[in-house]
Amino acid sequence: MNGGTARTAPALTARDLVVGYGERQVLNGVSLEVGAGELLAILGPNGAGKSTLLSLLGGSIRPWRGSVEILGRPIEEFERRALARVLASVRQESGAAFPFTVLEVVLMGRAPHLGPLRFEGTRDLAIAHAALARFGLLPLAGRFIQELSGGERRRVFIARALAQEPAIALLDEPTAFLDLKHVGEIFALLKQLRAERRMAVIATFHDLNVAAQYADRILLLKDGVAVGCGAPEEVLTADNLRQVYETEVYVGRNPATGALAVLSAVR
Amino acid sequence: MTAPSRIPSGSRSTPVSTASYEPDTGTFEGAYLSPARMAAVLGAMAALLAVTMIVAVAYGTVRIDLYRALTQPATSDHAILFSARLPRVLMGAVVGAILAAVGAALQALVRNPLAEGGILGISGGGALGAILALTVGYRLGGGPVAIVPLCAFAMALLSTLAVYRLAQVNGRLEPFSLLLIGVIFNAFWGALILLVNALVDLYQVHSIIAWLMGSLEAPTYYQVALVAAMGLGGFAALFIRARDMNLLSLGDDAAADLGVSIEAVRRTIFIATSLMIGAAVSVSGIINFVGLIVPHILRLALGADHRLLLPASVLGGAALLVAADLIARIVIAPAELPVGVITALCGGPFFIYLLRREERRSLVT
């Protein structure tokens, strides 16, 4: 939570979202609010509706019912490119069909800020450079995206999202394929960006402990309904987790960081 | 400037360039498309095209003296140069440019280097449209010449939409079902062309071989200008979408996240490529593989950025078809081959090579 700082319009507000595919309802009345600089983690088992919720928040699908507001304005009022200037998404599958270099992919993040025929200028290159440098990707700038490992590619696409200079970043499983060192690095980085630029981050996670350690707040989903939403301590209780994951868990503390730690309690 | 270091030589997994970066000036040499690099590459390619065209004008079945042809209007050299060779070379350049630019755009659309107007059956549809127009127009006793390319455009567009729709499986475009549908359409349009030809004797208008194999014989300057104008219009529409095509290669969803209106880009590509193919096909018939080979080689050499790839394909496609037509004119002199024979002989093996390579690599990551 953001403590006592005077909050203007929240970065993103979603009210009572209902959506589905065909006849099947996937989300059933989910509401959330994320302030500037906050990190909200969306957790839940497979099929709980995490990715669908993220797609709704990013405007790539429209809800059956409910509303999404970006910086206090309804998301439908944004023209597509204008939306891309304030909101960046990193999807789970990310790659390129043709041999673009890492630098070119990161520069694509500048596209919403440029006209169709304008070349990237010094400012865009400086922004791409900074994004690459933050992720330790500068030595790879001239490499083709196809030549990279899954983890490297993930970092490139998060760097591309940063190059968009968004107010809100939506990350679908940002830590998938990443080893422990890079998970820590990315969150340190996101923390820095949240502090510097007041960037709000909404991310889905598989790993409860990663979410518990780094998120300000957690939204726990099951079958398209929010089971809990709040600080990790409020949401990640043994009761909630048993209900959502249908298995016995042990909730303790990570002795090194003091963050919540969730372990399977099945013998 | 042209950064030859980007060309992946041999093994594809070697690091291509460790971009040198000076934070002050903000340059990543060769790792992205700068206006200077674009100008250098296009300048070099334009020079290559100019040389190719001069050579193609100078040589042929009949030996001519270029100097005499240019200075003495009464000579037969002059007549051969200006009424036979020059319009043919110009038409070759225009058609080649169109085919390659269309290939690059269609490859961007389907996110796959195996796409091309000929392979997807779009050229076949266009050729049928042109033949139908010629048949009816011929029956009605002529008519404006632009009717032919416009009918070709309409049929090419119909063919594009049909192939695109049919190749979609659960809303996703399957590369191999796309190729298969393309093959079927090719055969289908080819059969209809033969059928129309059997019903109406077209030999007085144009040789049937020219439609099915592709040939550049004896165009008029008016035809060259008409096809060039249609090609230019289509190219302008595509070029404005060049950055969107780059983003499209990240996938439809990711491109939309970056502000691309997917439907608008698709519509532009459908209409522009059909217009261009319609124009080309109405004068040259179905010339295969130019649209496949040129963008593919250029992408390997210059990178994938469509802002360079599209205009470079125009110049490269023009040079390739002019050169291929020169070979077609002189290889069995005094007889001539349809230029499509040359491009198919070179392009067929190349296509198989590409197909094999794509099968081994996973297509879209």
User: B343 or B357: whose pLDDT is higher?
Assistant: B343
- A101 to chain B: which residues are within 8 Å by CB? 6, 16, 19, 31-32, 303
- A91 to chain B: which residues are within 8 Å by CB? 251, 253-254, 257
Query: At A197, which CATH number?
Result: 3.40.50.300
Average pLDDT across chain B, whole number? 83
- B357 to chain A: which residues are within 8 Å by CB? none
CA distance A128 to A170: 19
- pLDDT at position B363 over 50: no
For chain A, say whether B363 makes contact (Cβ under 8 Å).
yes
- pLDDT at position B241 over 90: yes
Same domain, A263 and A155: no
Q: Which of A125, A141, A165 is the last residue of a domain?
A: A165
Which position has the token pair 């996703």? B172
Shortest distance, CA B240 to any CA of chain A (angstroms): 6
In a domain, A159, yes or no: yes
Sign of CA dihedral A201, A110, B253, A18: positive
pLDDT per position as a tens digit, A40-97:
999 998 888 999 999 999 998 999 999 999 999 999 999 999 999 999 999 987 788 8
Confidence of residue A1 (pLDDT cuts 50, 70, 90): very low
For residue A117, give the nearest of B28, B240, B305 by CB distance: B240
pLDDT at B156: 93
For residue A94, give the nearest of B19, B35, B254 by CB distance: B254
In a domain, A83, yes or no: no
For residues B220 and B84, the answer to whether their CB atoms sit within 8 Å is no
In a domain, A134, yes or no: yes
pLDDT at B203: 56
Q: B253 and A60: CB-CB below 8 Å?
A: yes
Average pLDDT over residues B209-214: 73
Contacting B residues, span 98-137, partner chain A, CB-CB under 8 Å: 108, 111-113
Q: Residue A158 corresponds to which amino acid?
A: I
Same domain, A20 and A130: no
Same domain, A223 and A265: yes
Of A232-236, B211-215, B293-297, minimum mean pLDDT range: B211-215
User: B97 or A242: whose pLDDT is higher?
Assistant: B97
Using CB atoms within 10 A of its CB, is residue A197 exposed (0-12), middle (13-18) or buried (19+)?
middle
Torsion of CA B355, B359, B360, B362, to 10 degrees: 120
Please name the residue of chain B whose CA is at the shortest distance from the CA of residue A108: B247
In a domain, A84, yes or no: no
Same domain, A112 and A238: no
Average pLDDT over residues B195-200: 82
User: B176 or B75: whose pLDDT is higher?
Assistant: B75
What distance lies between CA B242 and its chain's CA centroid? 16
Label the pairing between strands A39-43 and A200-204. parallel
pLDDT at B158: 94
Q: Smallest Cα–Cα separation from A97: which of B104, B318, B194? A: B104
Q: A83 and B259: CB-CB below 8 Å?
A: yes
- A125 to chain B: which residues are within 8 Å by CB? 26-28, 32
Q: A98 and B261: CB-CB below 8 Å?
A: no
Contacting B residues, span 172-191, partner chain A, CB-CB under 8 Å: none
The domain ranges of chain B are 32-359
Share of chain A above pLDDT 70, in %: 97
Label the pairing between strands B168-169 and A39-43. unpaired
pLDDT at B135: 78
Average pLDDT over residues B340-351: 88
CB atoms under 10 Å from CB of B165, counted, come to 9
User: B204 or B25: whose pLDDT is higher?
Assistant: B204
- pLDDT at position B2 over 50: no
Q: Which residues contact B34 (CB under 8 A, 6 or more apart)?
A: A119, B27
Please name the residue of chain B whose CA is at the shortest distance from the CA of residue A160: B258
In a domain, A89, yes or no: no
In a domain, A85, yes or no: no
pTM listed for this prediction: 0.87
- A98 to chain B: which residues are within 8 Å by CB? 108, 111, 113, 249, 299, 304
Structural domain boundaries, residue A50: 1-71+167-267
- pLDDT at position B233 over 90: yes
Same domain, A197 and A265: yes
Using CB atoms within 10 A of its CB, is residue B364 exposed (0-12), middle (13-18) or buried (19+)?
middle
Q: How many residues does chain A have?
A: 267
Which position has the token pair 């987790």? A241
Q: B18 and A139: CB-CB below 8 Å?
A: yes
CA distance B242 to B269: 10
Confidence of residue B219 (pLDDT cuts 50, 70, 90): confident
- pLDDT at position B184 over 70: yes
pLDDT at B310: 97
ipTM: 0.90
Same domain, A201 and A267: yes
Sign of CA dihedral A71, A76, A77, A80: positive
pLDDT at A267: 79
pLDDT at B10: 38
Same domain, A122 and A249: no
Q: Smallest Cα–Cα separation from B254: which of A60, A19, A127, A154? A: A60
pLDDT at A221: 93
Same domain, A122 and A198: no
Average pLDDT over residues A166-173: 94
Interface probe, candidates B13, B28, B110, B362, chain A, greatest A C-beta count within 10 A: B28
pLDDT at B25: 35
Same domain, A185 and A161: no
Using CB atoms within 10 A of its CB, is residue B74 exposed (0-12), middle (13-18) or buried (19+)?
exposed
Share of chain B above pLDDT 90, in %: 44
Q: Which of A109, A142, A165 is the last residue of a domain?
A: A165
Average pLDDT over residues B66-91: 88
- pLDDT at position A150 over 70: yes
Shortest distance, CA B163 to any CA of chain A (angstroms): 21
For chain A, say whether B258 makes contact (Cβ under 8 Å).
yes
Shortest distance, CA A184 to any CA of chain B (angstroms): 25
Same domain, A171 and A140: no
pLDDT at B188: 93
Return the number of CB contacts < 8 Å for A and B.
Answer: 148
CA distance B87 to B307: 29
- pLDDT at position B365 over 60: no
Instruction: For B140-161, give one letter per residue: b (16+ CB within 10 A) or e.
Output: eeeeebebbbbbbbbbbbbbbe
For chain A, say whether B4 makes contact (Cβ under 8 Å).
no
Please name the residue of chain B whose CA is at the shortest distance from the CA of residue A147: B13
3-state secondary structure chain B: CCCHHHCCCCCCCCCCCCCCEECCCCEECCCCCCHHHHHHHHHHHHHHHHHHHHHHHHCCCCCCCHHHHHHCCCCHHHHHHHHHHHHHHHHHHHHHHHHHHHHHHHHHHHCCCCCCCCCCCHHHHHHHHHHHHHHHHHHCCCCCCCHHHHHHHHHHHHHHHHHHHHCEECCEECHHHHHHHHHHHHHHHHHHHHHHHHHCCCCCCCCHHHHHHCCCCCCCHHHHHHHHHHHHHHHHHHHHCHHHHHHHCCCHHHHHHCCCCHHHHHHHHHHHHHHHHHHHHHHHCCCCCHHHHHHHHHHHHHCCCHHHHHHHHHHHHHHHHHHHHHHHHHCCCCCCCCHHHHHHHHHHHHHHHHHHHHHHCCCCC
Name the 3-class secondary structure at A12.
Answer: strand
Same domain, A183 and A253: yes
Confidence of residue B202 (pLDDT cuts 50, 70, 90): low
Domain count across chain A: 2
Please name the residue of chain B whose CA is at the shortest distance from the CA of residue A164: B258
Same domain, A153 and A181: no
Shortest distance, CA B41 to any CA of chain A (angstroms): 16
Is the preceding peptide bond at B334 cis, omega within 30 degrees of 0?
yes
Please name the residue of chain B whose CA is at the shortest distance from the CA of residue A170: B257
pLDDT per position as a tens digit, A104-116:
999 999 999 998 8
Label the pairing between strands A12-21 and A24-34. antiparallel
CATH class of the domain at B32-359: mainly alpha
In a domain, A86, yes or no: no
Of A61-70, A151-160, B217-226, B244-253, minimum mean pLDDT range: B217-226
pLDDT per position as a tens digit, B7-38:
343 333 333 333 444 444 345 777 888 899 99
For chain A, say whether B260 makes contact (Cβ under 8 Å).
yes
Using CB atoms within 10 A of its CB, is residue A151 exposed (0-12), middle (13-18) or buried (19+)?
middle
Confidence of residue B211 (pLDDT cuts 50, 70, 90): confident
Instruction: For B204-225, give one letter per residue: b (16+ CB within 10 A) or e.
Output: ebbbbebbbbbbbbebeeebbe
For chain A, say whether B318 makes contact (Cβ under 8 Å).
no
pLDDT at A42: 95
pLDDT at A62: 92
Please name the residue of chain A whose CA is at the shortest distance from the CA of residue B104: A98
Half-sphere exposure for B130 (CA within 13 Å, toward CB): 31
For chain A, say whether B295 makes contact (Cβ under 8 Å).
no
pLDDT at B73: 85
Q: Smallest Cα–Cα separation from A141: which of B216, B19, B137, B196? A: B19
For residue B365, give the nearest of A125, A126, A146 by CB distance: A146
In a domain, A258, yes or no: yes
For chain A, say whether B251 makes contact (Cβ under 8 Å).
yes
Please name the residue of chain A whose CA is at the shortest distance from the CA of residue B15: A143
pLDDT at A169: 95
For residue A108, give the nearest of B16, B30, B247 by CB distance: B247
Residue A170 token pair? 């939506």
- pLDDT at position A38 over 90: yes
